[in-house]
Structure 1
Amino acid sequence: METVLQLEGVTWRRGEQELLKNINWTIRKNEHWALLGLNGSGKTTLLNMITGYLWPTKGSITVLGERFGEIDLRELRQSIGWVSSSLQEKLYGTDKAQSVVISGKHATIGLYEKPTDDDLGRAEAIMRALGCPHLWDREYRTCSQGEKQKLLIGRGLMANPKLLILDEPCNGLDLFSRERLLDSIQELARQADAPTFIYVTHHTEEILPVFTHTLLLRRGEVFRSGKTEETLSEQTLSSFFENPVKVSWEERRAYVRLA
Structure 2
Amino acid sequence: MKTQTKRAAGTYLILGIGILLIIYPLFLTVISAFKTEPEITKNFLALPESFYLGNFKNILSRPDYYQAVGNTLYITILSLAGMIVVLPMVSYSIARKMDVSRFYKYLYFFLLVGIFVPFQVKMMPLIKTMSSLHMLTPTGIIIVYVASSICEGVFLYVAFIQGVPTELEEAAYIDGASTAKTYFQIILPLLKPMTATVLIKMGLWIWNDFFLPLLVLNKSTKYWTLTLFQYNFKSTFTVDYALVFATFILSMLPVFLVYLVLQKQIIGGLTNGAVKG
* TM-score above 0.5: no
Structure of greater Rg: 2
Higher-RCO chain (CA-CA 8 Å, sequence separation at least 6): 2
Q: Relative to total residues, which structure has the larger strand share, 1 or 2?
A: 1
